Chain A
Amino acid sequence: MKQHPYIYTLLWAFGTVAFIALSSYLVGSLARFISKLAGQSRQRQENTFAGYFFASPWIVGFLIFVVFPMVASLYWSFTDYRIGTPSTWIGLENFIRLLAADREFRGSLINTLFLTLFGLPLQIGFALFLAVLLNRKLRGERVFRMTFYLPVILGFNAAVLLCWRLMLNAGNGIIDQIIRAASRAFPPFGWLNRASIYVVEIVNGFFLGLTNGNYTLLNNVYETGFPAANRVPMWIQTPLWTKMSVILLMVWGCGSMMLIFLAGLNAIPREILEAAEVDGANNWQQFRKIVFPLVTPYIFYNLVVGMIATLQIFEPIYVLYRDNQPLAPSAYSMVYYLYQATFRFNEIGYGSAISWLILVIIAIVTFVQFRWQNRWVEYDLI
């Protein structure tokens, strides 16, 4: 049957629908039976049946595809288990190897930290900037909003990411060609370009040093000194720039964050801003003293969601660096490393340990953010 993949899967799909219908009926009936035992009214029993009947696709799926795998992987994370061989209990060895010996994993942690530290603020800042611009109630605002949101829809398709790979080429990539032309035509831009290259390479050199434990790249950058006049960013050519391309893509895909900010800006009563204008506050003062505090809850939301998303970045790294071996580890995200480390040698035990570590890190980060939010997030100002 597998020679005909469409028919095979269609049959399974029909079977699944039948299974869901049957299991829903059983779950509903069980709930009704319990409700009857509890001596509830006829009406209540019927509602219990209907509720569990309709909710049970999710309940059953949650048990099969979430709870069961999570429990299994928790067990496997303490074992040496490869597909095809029986698992053996090794205690904490996987976790020790991960945290103490695995340089690539440490690299992926530091890379993710880098993206969170530099990429996320840029992404949130750019989203807020676009939202403030759009909030002026201009004609044609919808077209702009659509354009800004488009990268979210298309941006994570491998096809579009390949176009970025074309544009980011160092030799004749369009981005570097534009930078080169602009630097030649307009010297201050050239200076700005060279200064940014210097800063980016020093910061990246430092973080790569943290990863590798040796700082030769940072030293090289330092000894070369201020970048030469014809220098352009080496987006996908050197470890010093690989993460910057990913940040570029993050900023490009800031559309959902922008929509969230727009909703927040819309909720600010016009009267407050008008009153401030009467009192003589200029645009910047209005933004700094009124708008910004009022959008902090939205910044907080974007920070929490954005951090989880950053931890999970996969597609850009696969498309930009997959086959670029000595270079790729300098851009690995944690989830990419999970994919790489697990399926390279089908090391299920080790992969399970990474999965659980990622889950724990997300839980801790989210918890810390919620604990710290009352230090800077302003609720109930209006």
Chain B
Amino acid sequence: MRKTVLHITGRVGLYILLTAASILMAFPLLWMLSTSFKTLQEANAPKIIWVPSEISLDAYRNILTDSDFIIAYVNSTFYAGLALAGTLLSIAAVAYAFSRVNWPGKNIVFALMLSTMMIPAQALIVPQYVFFNAIDWIGTFNPLIIPGYFAGGAAMVFLLRQSMIQIPIELDESAVIDGANHIQIWWEIIMPLIKAPLATVATFLFIGYWNNLLGPLLYAQTTKLYTLPVYVAQLYNINNATQPWPTIMAAAVLTTVPLFIVFFFAQRFILESVVISGMKG
């Protein structure tokens, strides 16, 4: 009897603790949403206003009539979409080589690829900038998109390889007997079987591209080419007497909506695969 009482209080305590932690973790997002519906006076008020008494859509009206914001939104969509397509396809091809084919040098190349995960991408920005400058790519989307087409992202290749390696090899063998070549096996047999891992990798890549700040900062040098993170970061200007916080937060909400949607649909796969790709070492 005493034990069950203890057990129940323990559970309740745990729930309270977890709920408190969840509120803390989600608080910035809730505050962002709340601020975006405030008026400028409410946002800068000296007292805490948890939820605005009257929902004001001024901020959304401001940001949606800002043509630079719309351009940035279209730019981000174009950049993330085009980069995602090429990266996903090339990663799937490379993962096929590392999981379904036996070739001399496979283990060496694979080890080399895994070791590149230790190289921080930022350590390469300086020479890459010079290279892109030399071929006249600065001020275009190319430096943000084209490198991904060469299976950018060793961790993602690893993730797909882990899924491909689990498919029974007999499938390939019977396809070979039926006269299929490797490209057919890859595209018609393997790819349909790994839709879920592909969706996961696509989600990770999309999040990475959508959030990328340093790349667009270096290469998209005119307002016409700004992506969302660069443009939204500029909205805050320390020289302003008062910051247009509701407008900035409305821009922030609109920027994060695609991330929410993607995460909502893919969360089950994401949470599992963080562990798979994390446990390689």
- Chain B residues near A359 (CB-CB < 8 A): 119-120, 123
Q: Among B21, B103, B118, B236, find the residue whose CB has the most chain A CB atoms closer than 10 A.
A: B103
Q: How far is the CA of A7 from the CA of B39 in the complex (A)?
A: 40
Instruction: Kindly state whether residue A174 has any CB partner on chain B within 8 Å.
Output: yes
- Chain B residues near A358 (CB-CB < 8 A): 120, 122-123
Q: Which residue of B lies closest to A359 (CB)?
A: B123
B252 touches A163 (CB 8 A): yes
- Chain B residues near A154 (CB-CB < 8 A): 29, 256, 259-260
- Chain A residues near B251 (CB-CB < 8 A): 159
Q: Interface range on chain B: under 10, 10 to 19, 20 to 34, or 35 or more?
A: 35 or more
Instruction: Kindly state whether residue A280 has any CB partner on chain B within 8 Å.
Output: no
A355 touches B102 (CB 8 A): no
Complex interface bits, A185-223 against B, C-beta within 8 A gives 1, otherwise 0: 000000000000000000000000000000000000000
Report if A57-B93 is in contact (Cβ < 8 Å); known contacts: A314-B214, A352-B126. yes
Instruction: Kindly state whether residue A22 has any CB partner on chain B within 8 Å.
Output: no
Which listed residue (A52, A65, A130) contacts B103, Cβ 8 A?
A: A52
- Chain B residues near A9 (CB-CB < 8 A): 78, 82, 140-142, 145
Instruction: Kindly state whether residue A315 has any CB partner on chain B within 8 Å.
Output: yes
Instruction: Kindly state whether residue A120 has any CB partner on chain B within 8 Å.
Output: no
- Chain A residues near B237 (CB-CB < 8 A): 323
Complex interface bits, B12-37 against A, C-beta within 8 A gives 1, otherwise 0: 00110110011001101101100100
Q: Which residue of B lies closest to A256 (CB)?
A: B274
Complex interface bits, A316-327 against B, C-beta within 8 A gives 1, otherwise 0: 001100111000
Complex interface bits, A80-97 against B, C-beta within 8 A gives 1, otherwise 0: 000100000000000000
- Chain B residues near A146 (CB-CB < 8 A): 267, 271
Instruction: Kindly state whether residue B281 has any CB partner on chain A within 8 Å.
Output: yes
Instruction: Kindly state whether residue B232 has any CB partner on chain A within 8 Å.
Output: yes
Instruction: Kindly state whether residue B61 has any CB partner on chain A within 8 Å.
Output: no
B116 touches A66 (CB 8 A): yes
Instruction: Kindly state whether residue A136 has any CB partner on chain B within 8 Å.
Output: yes
- Chain A residues near B252 (CB-CB < 8 A): 157, 159-160, 162-163
Report B109 CB to chain A, min CB distance, Å: 6
Instruction: Kindly state whether residue B162 has any CB partner on chain A within 8 Å.
Output: no
Report if A150-B25 is in contact (Cβ < 8 Å); known contacts: A312-B122, A362-B120. yes
B103 touches A31 (CB 8 A): yes
B90 touches A2 (CB 8 A): no
Instruction: Kindly state whether residue A8 has any CB partner on chain B within 8 Å.
Output: yes
Q: How far is the CA of A52 from the CA of B118 in the complex (A)?
A: 24
Instruction: Kindly state whether residue B147 has any CB partner on chain A within 8 Å.
Output: yes
Report if A72-B130 is in contact (Cβ < 8 Å); known contacts: A62-B116, A158-B230. yes
Q: How far is the CA of A70 from the CA of B128 in the complex (A)?
A: 9
- Chain A residues near B270 (CB-CB < 8 A): 149
Q: How far is the CA of A66 from the CA of B121 in the complex (A)?
A: 9
- Chain A residues near B62 (CB-CB < 8 A): none
Report A52 CB to chain B, min CB distance, Å: 6
A351 touches B142 (CB 8 A): no
Instruction: Kindly state whether residue A229 has any CB partner on chain B within 8 Å.
Output: no
Which listed residue (A47, A58, A356) contacts B150, Cβ 8 A?
A: A58
B22 touches A50 (CB 8 A): no
User: Can you report 5 residue pairs joining A to B where beta carbons are below 8 Å apart?
Assistant: A55-B106, A147-B22, A159-B228, A163-B249, A314-B214
Known: A72-B130, A319-B236; 11 extra A-B contacts, CB below 8 A, are: A2-B139, A54-B101, A66-B119, A158-B213, A159-B228, A159-B256, A178-B48, A262-B275, A315-B213, A348-B126, A363-B118
The 8 closest A-B pairs by CB, nearest first: A61-B150, A51-B103, A69-B127, A54-B97, A159-B252, A55-B97, A158-B229, A73-B127
Give residues in B with beta carbon < 8 Å to A. 11, 14-15, 17-18, 21-22, 25-26, 28-29, 31-32, 35, 44-48, 78, 82, 86, 90, 93-94, 96-98, 101-106, 109, 112-113, 116, 118-120, 122-131, 133, 139-142, 145-147, 149-152, 157, 182, 186, 207, 210-211, 213-214, 217-218, 224-225, 228-230, 232-233, 235-239, 243, 245, 248-249, 251-253, 255-256, 259-260, 263, 267, 270-271, 274-275, 278-279, 281
